[in-house]
Structure 1
């Protein structure tokens, strides 16, 4: 079985395993496949909470048909009708246009993240992961794609991991980095925890300095601000999770 493509039956068993709360490692063991194979399958098809066997099978079949689409001849051939050559030119132009559009969007995506506070290289790493078809790339693939050193990739990924924007897993001798549909919920939850720490520390400072002093009053106001912000953020995150769960049940 190792090395073979996943079948519709495999995908059904993956969906059942996720519904039963099994870990990726346990699902992989039951299928006789590697954990990385299972995690990539889940990541590229909706993540652990959005994975649907039928939808994953359909998406995989569509990708396979797209890959099998043979390129037309680039030069006129007497045996090839002129309409086929014309179709080839149209398809080639469309592919080039699509690739250019994707690159343009990637640059806009990176620029937006940079302008909102993320370091340029960190933004490039995150964008590369986020818009990749599977939502995952190895460290080697990132180095080749971005033309930077492994140390640069490692530094960027470390920053992203600290904020729970990416996860990592070992794949043979290489490390694979992943993003999924839960990325924003995890990042938001991490920010909420940060707000709670700000509130607690500022509250302690206000008690030490005394709220009747200017410094103590500033710390007390700061504590109230972050406490309210953290509360609202937690409510917003839970609202999103419920809305997403409802949408997935209806899909």
Structure 2
């Protein structure tokens, strides 16, 4: 079974196949390679009319040499304060970001939120995030706008007011749950209205009616949980003040 990389001999066969007028699929079949591999190889090295095995081999070697050039090590984003192991914190950050992504959050948003969430201060500047995540300032700016719109973080000025910093706090998931409740309320009202317009006994109307009924059931315990949480927080604050 051929390896992942094309050899010089493979490239000779590709050049011969092109000279015979064969398509990528047939050349790939003869080499035991996917047609997409042949297409990428030929397109990257001059196209069907200008492909040469030796030139393609030399170009591939040059690209490999460029990739082998030493790159500066990526700094760990882990926090070493409180005696923490920076690598363990880094692994935690990455696994938490993956979990958020699996829950449907965009990848960059998950990485930014996880990076903020594991810091004791819950606060980082755009420059901090660029350095820790090794991405462009534009990516951070777009992602911050998304997270702010979702109510998952807020902006504030650094002391002196010269730069912005981004903040997550202990109420992050409280706000997220409240936003979900509000969205469900909106969907309930819209579904109930749709059922009226379409007719509750019609298939389409019944579909909207069932949706409204289900979302009402979902919202009820969520609302009760929020009320219990708010009461427990009020009790805790009262104890601190007494």
TM-score normalized by structure 1?
0.58
Deviations 1:182-208 (A, max 9, x none): 111111111100000110111110000
The CA deviation at 1:163 is 1.7
* 3-state secondary structure, aligned to 2:85: helix
The CA deviation at 1:105 is 1.1
> Which residue in 1 is equivalent to 2:150?
163
Runs of at least 5 residues in structure 1 that lack an aligned partner in the other structure: 1-93
> Which residue in 2 is equivalent to 1:80?
none
Runs of at least 5 residues in structure 2 that lack an aligned partner in the other structure: 1-80
> Which residue in 2 is equivalent to 1:154?
141
Q: Do the aligned residues in 2 keep the contact of 1:193 with 1:230 (CA within 8 Å)?
A: no
> Which residue in 2 is equivalent to 1:121?
108
RMSD: 2.2
Q: In 1, Cα distance between the equivalents of 2:164 and 2:194?
A: 42
- Greater RCO (Cα-Cα under 8 Å, separation 6 or more): 1
Q: In 1, Cα distance between the equivalents of 2:187 and 2:166?
A: 30
* 3-state secondary structure, aligned to 1:102: helix
The CA deviation at 1:228 is 2.4
Equivalent residue in structure 2 for 1:111, among 98, 104, 129: 98
Moved over 6 A (4+): 94-97
Q: Do the aligned residues in 2 keep the contact of 1:140 with 1:174 (CA within 8 Å)?
A: no
Counterpart check, 1:231 vs 2:231: no
Q: Do the aligned residues in 2 keep the contact of 1:195 with 1:230 (CA within 8 Å)?
A: yes
- Relative distance call for 1:108 and 1:249 in structure 2 (3 A) is farther
Q: Do the aligned residues in 2 keep the contact of 1:169 with 1:176 (CA within 8 Å)?
A: yes
> Which residue in 1 is equivalent to 2:208?
219
The CA deviation at 1:129 is 0.9
Q: In 2, Cα distance between the equivalents of 1:124 and 1:222?
A: 33
TM-score normalized by structure 2?
0.60
